[in-house]
Amino acid sequence: MSTPSLARRSIALALALSLFALGRSVLAADPPEEFEGLKRVEHKKLDHFYVLPAADLAGYKRIRLDPVDVAFDKNWNPNQYERSPSRKITASDMEKIKSTVATEFRKVFAEDLGEAGYKLVDEDGEDVLRVTAAIINLYITAPDKMTAGRSRTYVTSTGHMTLAIALRDSVTGQFLVRAFDSVQARDTGNFMISSSVHNLGDAREAFHRWAEILRKGLDDANARPPST
């Protein structure tokens, strides 16, 4: 990996860590009214929304999405009631889960924003919006470990997670928006078999919702007609 690539990764990691820290602060107590010059305002679809006064997303046609970091809920203990060593979730399993979540997040954003005309790119530019996102407080009610003869686990909800996201101008680095939104997987009211398919399906549903919010914000700023 080249030195510039390492530098970009280091900056992205630092931003992700700042999102983690602010997210814990916002979610643990009364959210601050201001953070690094951004003012807290009400948003109809997001739990916590901070915006730079007079910020404008007009002119941004492309998106640079930094690598997505994922962190589990501090109270998540997937092996709490598992007695079989072969079915315990290992550190390697956890890394695979985080990698899968990050990959699916990027895939959904690329698909949804791309269909609306906002292409994901790897360079900065006057028309490029830099997006740093992290999934925090990820809690999977019953993670699925593919093992021979595994027992079935029944749940009513697959879990919950929180999006922490920051939007900034890719050239100047000026932060325009920071937002946090927690989602609880839909409670069916009935027991269903837990599986990686159900878990990932619920996660993708949340990713589509968040991508739609960003897409609409860009459409509104650029006065574009709603995407079909």
Angle (CA) 74-10-58 rounded to 5° is: 95
Give the residue extent of every domain in the chain.
Answer: 3-221
Question: What pLDDT score does 10 carry?
Answer: 52
Average pLDDT value for residue range 98-120: 95
Cβ atoms of 19 and 178 within 8 Å: the answer is yes
DSSP character at residue 86? G
- pLDDT tens digits for 175-219? 999 999 999 875 544 333 444 556 788 889 999 999 999 999 999
Lowest mean per-residue pLDDT among 76-90, 146-160, 161-175, 202-216: 146-160
What six digits make up the tokens of 92? 């390697």
Residue 124 confidence (pLDDT)? 97
* Measured distance CA(4)–CA(223) in Å, rounded: 36
Q: CA–CA separation, 191 vs 172, rounded Å?
A: 50
pTM (2 d.p.): 0.80
Is 129 in a helix, a strand, or coil? Answer: strand
Phi, psi at 117, each rounded to 5°: 100, 5
Q: Check residue 148 and give its pLDDT.
A: 43
Q: Tokens 């709603």 sit at which residue?
A: 226
Among 109, 221, 128, 118, residue whose Cα is nearest residue 170: 128
